[in-house]
Chains A and B, each alone.
Chain A
């Protein structure tokens, strides 16, 4: 259900943005200048599981720090609206901890991910320094993954969680354009479970600090 909704949402956003573009193209008023810029993004990230226990944009203290790098294709659709497409590679560590004070059960995952963010709605305002907010969707596919479970520091050999290679969901960003550069905090809310067949609902949420040059 989540998956279907997410796909519909992404399709709708892309569709609306294309309609806007079409209307702009058909307008007899002088056409705003449509620019496409290409940038390079680097993005340290905080990665953490959402066990259906997080509110909007919440970050948990058990996050792991990851890092990603990639490209940014930025279309200026109007004075107040951009659209972006961002492919990137990412190292995505994430940890599943026990909260029991008497026992330390830890399952750690390390994913090497190819990700694609499609952000059709970037609203901006201002002159050279333009605050912006963004909304879009993302899909990530891990190229490789590894995991290790420890119990009180000792490796557990008989537990191997099945994982989903695809993560997808929504992202929300807030940031600022400074000339050609962009600084943005972006929250990624995954809509599918990463570990399959577990008693615990789980998805990987993420906050990225995206720096675009």
Chain B
């Protein structure tokens, strides 16, 4: 037994000293299935800067039969940048040059991926910088110190557009708007007035030049006009609450206090127009219900009746003192409105009647479809503001690609080729093929929030030079009653097929 006690420790010692070994090669049956590795990176070109750039890499594994391995599993890999093992997928941008990126896995015989060529380039690589307005704030007109504008740049090299380097571009960008210099493309507030040149510089390389006409906003005296809602005895009725609501909305629209989820337009302005419900009848008596007039008609009266137009012409209250709004069942449109007539040709696109003693020969008024405009707010809650725009001389912003709406700071566009819901979509394409977001009250879009500076100028000119406009002085002074001529059926309203 004594010998055994001596012998066993000797054996154990011998075993311990001579034998226990650590593994040195990757012998995992599971991981050694890797026969091929592929590596790709979305970005192969970087600008040289004095910093380190993360390299997003996508590494995939395949077996001998080229079947994907380890999908959705995190298999760590080694990265080689031009034969140097790097600890993290990052690139030292301070050293311009061309690098070779490879991934490897320490299988029994180390498996390498394909090579990806990575270039770190200097400013001389840039061939062109294209500066443009963002879609949402595209406009070459602006009101100084109003809302903000966004721009965008595209950088081109010998092999086309350089994408994916937005961070680098923004870090090294300078945007000049007039004398104002910014390091951002977003939320640029135009502070100067006049013709402003806009340029971007990236790594010192200059872009093309944009031009913005910037105007100083104008504060006008508020112009208040009374509205009379006419309902037909056989037609839909409008309640006092609905009338009040319509007045509230149209005032908010003209005061530039409506907001949508889109950016506020850089040309959006307060119109300084206010509207109220008329409180007196043309004969001076107080109205039983303010802003409300009921017209007795035959039970079969409709917009198809031969007497329809004549009835409206006859029943229209003095347009020098009231804005006449007929509540109807139009059916085919949310509303329509007649354009004004001017005493002088100061505004393009509108009729002129220079007769010193003019007579009115058309029912200068607004018509709203009760169901679409009042009940359903279809396509938006601001049909009355839209029709009021027509009433005050505005055309649709999508009028045509020729003279358009005669307003400079709205984008000329057309909806002729749009169908279905596209007609009401805020994403529009201009006559020049530029995408932009429209939120103008004079478009058909769902989200509307503004009239522009130039639209306001046009409406103010109509207020000043329009015949039969209920100007402020007409409300307080004694004026001779307006003269109705013979109805001219050839004068047609602008129908709004919302």
Interface positions of A (Cβ within 8 A of B)? 49, 51, 53-55, 57-62, 96-100, 102-103, 105, 107, 129, 131, 149, 151-152, 156, 159, 161, 174-176, 178, 183, 185, 195, 198-200, 202, 207
Whether the Cβ atoms of A107 and B3 lie closer than 8 Å is no
Q: Does B241 contact A (CB under 8 A)?
A: no
Can you name the residue of chain B whose Cβ is closest to the Cβ of A150? B30
Q: Can you list the 6 inter-chain pairs with the closest CB atoms, starting with the nearest?
A: A102-B76, A98-B28, A59-B19, A199-B32, A51-B27, A129-B3
Whether the Cβ atoms of B8 and A183 lie closer than 8 Å is yes
Whether the Cβ atoms of A96 and B7 lie closer than 8 Å is no
Whether the Cβ atoms of A53 and B25 lie closer than 8 Å is yes
Q: Does B4 contact A (CB under 8 A)?
A: yes
> Within the complex, which residue of B20, B23, B30, B35 is in contact with A151, where a contact is CB–CB below 8 Å?
B30
With a cutoff of 8 Å between Cβ atoms, the chain A residues found around residue B15 in the complex are: 59, 185, 207
Whether the Cβ atoms of A199 and B23 lie closer than 8 Å is no
Interface string of B73-107 (1 = CB under 8 A from A): 11110000000000000000000000000000011
With a cutoff of 8 Å between Cβ atoms, the chain B residues found around residue A57 in the complex are: 18-19
Can you name the residue of chain B whose Cβ is closest to the Cβ of A154? B73
With a cutoff of 8 Å between Cβ atoms, the chain B residues found around residue A161 in the complex are: 29
Whether the Cβ atoms of B30 and A99 lie closer than 8 Å is no
With a cutoff of 8 Å between Cβ atoms, the chain A residues found around residue B18 in the complex are: 57-58
Given contacts A60-B21, A60-B23, A199-B108, contact A105 B11 (CB under 8 A): no
With a cutoff of 8 Å between Cβ atoms, the chain B residues found around residue A103 in the complex are: 31, 75-76
Given contacts A57-B18, A59-B19, A60-B20, contact A49 B27 (CB under 8 A): yes
Q: How far is the CA of A97 from the CA of B25 in the complex (A)?
A: 11
Q: Does B24 contact A (CB under 8 A)?
A: yes
16 extra interface residue pairs, beta carbon distance < 8 Å, beyond A58-B18, A99-B26, A207-B19: A51-B108, A58-B19, A59-B19, A60-B20, A60-B23, A61-B21, A96-B29, A96-B30, A97-B23, A97-B28, A129-B4, A149-B30, A151-B73, A178-B1, A185-B11, A207-B15
Whether the Cβ atoms of A99 and B27 lie closer than 8 Å is yes
Shortest CB–CB separation between residue A185 and chain B, in angstroms? 6
With a cutoff of 8 Å between Cβ atoms, the chain A residues found around residue B75 in the complex are: 103
Can you name the residue of chain A whose Cβ is closest to the Cβ of B26? A99
Whether the Cβ atoms of A100 and B4 lie closer than 8 Å is no
Classify the secondary structure of B's interface with A.
loop
Q: How far is the CA of A102 from the CA of B3 in the complex (A)?
A: 48
Can you name the residue of chain B whose Cβ is closest to the Cβ of A131? B7
With a cutoff of 8 Å between Cβ atoms, the chain B residues found around residue A198 in the complex are: 29, 32
With a cutoff of 8 Å between Cβ atoms, the chain B residues found around residue A178 in the complex are: 1, 3-4
| 8 A Cβ contacts from B236-250 to A | none
Q: How far is the CA of A183 from the CA of B9 in the complex (A)?
A: 12
With a cutoff of 8 Å between Cβ atoms, the chain A residues found around residue B35 in the complex are: 199
Can you name the residue of chain B whose Cβ is closest to the Cβ of A57? B19
Q: How far is the CA of A152 from the CA of B31 in the complex (A)?
A: 12
**Which of the four size classes fits the interface of chain B?**
20 to 34
Given contacts A59-B15, A131-B7, contact A53 B31 (CB under 8 A): no
Can you list 27 A-B pairs with a CB-CB distance of less than 8 A? A49-B27, A51-B23, A51-B27, A55-B21, A58-B20, A58-B21, A59-B15, A60-B20, A60-B22, A61-B23, A99-B25, A99-B26, A100-B106, A105-B30, A107-B29, A129-B4, A131-B7, A149-B30, A151-B70, A159-B33, A176-B4, A178-B3, A178-B4, A185-B15, A199-B107, A199-B108, A202-B29
Given contacts A57-B18, A60-B22, A183-B4, contact A200 B76 (CB under 8 A): no
With a cutoff of 8 Å between Cβ atoms, the chain B residues found around residue A151 in the complex are: 30, 70, 73
Whether the Cβ atoms of B27 and A53 lie closer than 8 Å is yes
Shortest CB–CB separation between residue B35 and chain A, in angstroms? 8
Shortest CB–CB separation between residue B209 and chain A, in angstroms? 53
Shortest CB–CB separation between residue A125 and chain B, in angstroms? 12
With a cutoff of 8 Å between Cβ atoms, the chain B residues found around residue A49 in the complex are: 27
Whether the Cβ atoms of A176 and B23 lie closer than 8 Å is no
Whether the Cβ atoms of A61 and B19 lie closer than 8 Å is no
Shortest CB–CB separation between residue B79 and chain A, in angstroms? 12
> Within the complex, which residue of A61, A96, A199 is in contact with B20, where a contact is CB–CB below 8 Å?
A61
Whether the Cβ atoms of A53 and B23 lie closer than 8 Å is yes
Q: How far is the CA of A178 from the CA of B73 in the complex (A)?
A: 56
Can you name the residue of chain B whose Cβ is closest to the Cβ of A49? B27
Most buried by A among B18, B23, B35, B75: B23
